[in-house]
Homo-oligomer: A and B are copies of this chain.
Amino acid sequence: MRKIKITGYGVYLPDNIYEVDGQRRYRANKNDTQLSMATAACRKALENGKIDIENIDCIVSTSAVGIQPIPCTAALIHEQIAIGTDIPALDINTTCTSFITALDIMSYLVDSGKYNNVLIVASEIASHGLNKKQKETFDLFADGAAAIVISKSDSNDQGVIASMQRTWSEGVHATEIRGGLTGFDPTFFSEETRDEYLFDMNGMSLLRLCSKKLPLMFDDFFKENNLSMDDVDLLIPHQASRALPLIMKKLNVPKGKYVDMVKDYGNMVSVSVPHLLCKLLEDKTINKGDKILLCGTAAGLTSNILLMQI
């Protein structure tokens, strides 16, 4: 057990709502930027936890897509909430599951005593990169930001119990934005190349790969850690798509044991998991002592599982 606890949390959702087929997607307004949303979520998390920024020991940004190629996104957030301090800022990225990866990694640093309080923030403005020609993805994604503060816990029953990450690059081209950095740089932009700079997902190919790989990974996760699904109170999966119930069925997760709010919030990229985590803490669906399993798949194809007693 890596002894950590959640001591603050905050969410920012834009108030512009796109409705389609009875589904709701929060989408950035003109005034919302990836940075403004990240900043708002961080401020709420600090306020919620009654924590001064001076007491934060590290700021970690987990957005899948950054704000600028240089510097890292956490440094830009630092300017908004921590200018004048020495707080280290860094980015951790596994696309949609970046938040789980960062929580996992930072739990080692908090448990070891390196840092006492770490602010982890995800912010995504997916709507800017969507391709209207791909209706499935255009209608699926949403914008927003969520932040939590994790802190050292003294309790033996609070923290990260086990975690696992796997990457299967057979699926690396099934979810991409190819253009914008060194692989296909911005200077090649034209109306003809526009699609290279937009989000491109092959949902069917991903679903096939997930169906093949995920059941084995979940089995291994439980076996290697001497655990079973009975040790989990609630699964909080990345809200990847409307196929979520299908995947949960493949994993033998009964209805009611996992959170599916794709209808209400869509896929918020790296924000989905921390957003739901904050929401469920706020409405007391999850409470101290509960064992929650954060999981999800991400471009890569990467999959993360993290079991935490909150």
Q: Which residues of A contact B (CB under 8 A)?
A: 33-35, 58-59, 64-72, 74-76, 78-79, 82-84, 86-95, 101, 105, 108-109, 112, 114, 125, 128-129, 165-170, 172, 175-187, 189, 194, 197, 199, 217, 298-302
Using A34-B182, A167-B86, A187-B194 as known contacts, say yes or no to A175 and B71 having CB atoms under 8 A apart: yes
CB of B89 within 8 A of CB of A72, answer no
CB of A70 within 8 A of CB of B66, answer no
CB of A172 within 8 A of CB of B95, answer no
CB of B166 within 8 A of CB of A86, answer yes
From the candidates B35, B78, B180, name the one contacting A68 in the complex (CB within 8 A). Answer: B180
CB of A89 within 8 A of CB of B182, answer no
Q: Report how far A170 CA is from B85 CA in the complex, Å.
A: 9
Q: Report how far A71 CA is from B59 CA in the complex, Å.
A: 22
Cβ of A142 to closest chain B Cβ, rounded Å: 15
CB of A65 within 8 A of CB of B181, answer yes
From the candidates B87, B177, B197, name the one contacting A187 in the complex (CB within 8 A). Answer: B197
Residues of B within 8 A of A91 (CB): 91-94
Cβ of A14 to closest chain B Cβ, rounded Å: 14
CB of A71 within 8 A of CB of B176, answer yes
Number of chain copies forming the complex: 2
Besides the known contacts A88-B166, A89-B94, 14 further A-B residue pairs in the complex with CB atoms under 8 A apart: A67-B182, A68-B183, A68-B184, A70-B177, A72-B300, A75-B299, A86-B166, A89-B169, A90-B92, A90-B94, A93-B93, A125-B182, A186-B189, A187-B197
Residues of B within 8 A of A129 (CB): 69, 182, 185
Q: Report how far A302 CA is from B75 CA in the complex, Å.
A: 8
Using A90-B165, A181-B65, A183-B33 as known contacts, say yes or no to A172 and B71 having CB atoms under 8 A apart: yes
Cβ of A179 to closest chain B Cβ, rounded Å: 6
19 A-B residue pairings within 8 Å (CB atoms): A66-B181, A67-B182, A69-B177, A69-B181, A70-B176, A70-B199, A71-B95, A71-B300, A75-B167, A78-B172, A78-B300, A83-B169, A87-B167, A89-B300, A90-B92, A91-B93, A92-B93, A180-B181, A189-B189
